[in-house]
């Protein structure tokens, strides 16, 4: 599965890695699917950057981030 791979990609940013590992398995699966469900590597990198942005804003999911009040 891709969940450990997501955690490994976050090793350069320990705060985000801790945030990811504290998520429930369902959220972790959702993020792994979001990133690695894309076939193109460029898209995977873009999705990874989106995940980091969402985490830095303090949200667990992209859905919640997208529905926030702007």
Tens of pLDDT along 2-54? 999 999 999 999 999 999 999 999 999 999 999 999 999 999 999 999 999 99
The pTM assigned to this predicted structure is: 0.94
Relative orientation angle of helices 25-36 and 41-56, to the nearest 10 degrees: 140
Q: How confident is the model at residue 70 (pLDDT cuts 50, 70, 90)?
A: confident
Q: What are phi and psi of 36, to 5 degrees?
A: -90, 0
Task: Provide the pLDDT confidence category of residue 69 given band limits of 50, 70 and 90.
Answer: confident
CB distance 51 to 31 below 8 Å: yes
């Amino acid at each position: 599965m891709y969940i450990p791979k997501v955690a490994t990609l976050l090793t350069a940013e320990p705060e985000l890695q801790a945030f990811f590992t504290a998520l429930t398995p369902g959220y972790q699966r959702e993020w792994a699917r979001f990133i690695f469900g894309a076939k193109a590597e460029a898209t995977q990198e873009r999705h990874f950057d989106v995940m980091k942005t969402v985490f830095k804003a303090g949200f667990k999911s992209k859905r919640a981030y997208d529905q926030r009040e702007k």
